[in-house]
Amino acid sequence: MINKLLTWYKENGRHELPWRKTRNPYKVLVSELMLQQTQVPRVIPKYKAFLKQFPTLKKLAQAERADVLRAWQGLGYNSRAARFHALAKAITKLPETREELLQLPGIGPYTAGAIMIFAHNKPAASVDVNVERVIKRLCWKQTQQPSKQEVEQKALELIQASNNPHDWHSMLMDFGSTICKRTPSCLKCPVRSQCKSKGKRADETTKKQPKFKGSTRYYRGQLLKKLLEKPLEEKDITKEEKEALRALIKEKLVTKQASVYHIH
């Protein structure tokens, strides 16, 4: 199964993605933070522009927070950019072990594993919802319900057996977005005869995504965009933006001086 999937990746993988062409830990981290809950086509131009403006961890640390947030605009989850900027100020180099990476603020198990895989080509468990879906379908029958720990252990066993962590994990991501999607294309699957669940699992549900426009997240982005242009007074903030403002203050992205709101 492993060899068939790696062959599929060699022939069908998205090798042209810019972050697939680097082993630089900082650039890998930029891509991983941007790709979380954001579609690839939107990330590509932002990734290139961000690295042009902040080509190294040191350059990012030297930047003003407002400049970092401006560069991040359009990706959403601006607190992620703020935490990344704070991280850059706190260290001079990214650690080279998963254990040390996990000690850093803002880096969880998935991101730490991804850095080990893509920057160092070392096996690690790095399981997001898409990777979890693929592995559970391939390795467990329809009615079996493995625990999170069992899925992570299986992910680690498979990536170790592949002898090529970088390409194996890249394959999982591409395979999950093109073949083993929420609604799978089983007839195109190169390992359908070996798939334990045959593309269906009893524990899979399809959740309807809430509308983005009109959500608190939407108004956060709108408000932050205005604040990056100039400080705002209370009268400049709409009723719909008030909840978003409270969240931005709580996350220390925005501060109030006298009666004027600024980027922190």
Cα–Cα distance for residue pair 220/199, rounded to 1 Å: 38
Residue 81: strand pairing partners? none
Cα–Cα distance for residue pair 134/181, rounded to 1 Å: 8
Eight-class DSSP state of 18: G
Cα–Cα distance for residue pair 67/259, rounded to 1 Å: 23
Q: 3-state DSSP call for residue 60?
A: helix
Cα–Cα distance for residue pair 112/126, rounded to 1 Å: 8
- Residue 88, both tokens: 């850059």
CA atoms within 13 A on the CB side of 51: 17
Q: How far is CA 61 from CA 85, 93, 219, in A?
A: 6, 11, 28
Residue-by-residue DSSP string for 222-255: HHHHHHHHS-EEGGGS-GGGHHHHHHHHHTTSEE
Active site residue 32: yes
Q: Looking at 11, 16, 32, 150, which residue is catalytic?
A: 32
Residues assigned a catalytic role:
32
